[in-house]
Structure 1
Amino acid sequence: MSAASSDNLSKHPFSFKKEERLKSKKLIQELFSEGSSFYLYPFKVIWAVQSNSSDSVSKHKILISVPKRKFKRAVDRNSVKRRVREAYRLNKAIISPEEVNKTFHIAYIYTADKILPQSVISKKLIATLGRLKQNLDN
């Protein structure tokens, strides 16, 4: 099955599959308790390198969070998450698993008070991915 999955990734390099999403409560708890973090407006990025790579399909998983405290309406929170997800999907090749050779998890916490345009979110997310790649290379 992994051969078919990697074949699908080569056909669709900009896909964002279910396996790339961080959903496990245990893994999320681990990420927040043991992960390293940095801040680059409008994101707080928490990341951790995982020692056991049980999932061979996807080398890295991400979590996108938009606080209810800043955006009361679910429509607004979902809109921001959609924009961040799209920016990540188009630019995830910056930290491609083949290049980094590590399994890691990332949490993006959106900290801005207003919904920023897609171009700004994309530009800032590219900057966070570049910084993350530097941290992973060290």
Structure 2
Amino acid sequence: MRPAARGVSLKELTGNMQLKPRVLLVEDRSDLAAMYQLAFDIAGFDIRVAVTGTEGVTIAESGWPQLMVLDLQLPDLDGFAVYDAMRRRGLTIPVIFLSVTDDGATIRRAMSLGAVDYLVKPRVKPADVVWRVKHHLNGSVA
């Protein structure tokens, strides 16, 4: 008589394979999007880019992203409208605003709404954006 086949767990099948952290970048400027996408790719992230606020909300609704990096100035909706649309739909994805706008009132507004961070584009390098995303994912990134 042959012994019964033992079930194999998902952990045994995947071994040490780790899932890549999933980040949604909402940025309409293709040159900046490509630059940030490359930095996230190099750092081992699964990155998707949305070029409009509407597209960003749609991807967020899918449940895919673990964190969103969101530009304030988009062609259809501004970043605050995107953030508001997500919250009205019950989405609690952490959001880092990334914008050229550096006035204190805008930064305070973003943070008071619940953004986890606010970064000013000309002052932050792509590698620093990646580091901040890792930080806000609470150490879930190796």
Fold conserved (TM > 0.5)? Answer: no
TM-score, reference length from structure 2: 0.31
TM-score, reference length from structure 1: 0.32
Q: Which has the higher helix share?
A: 1
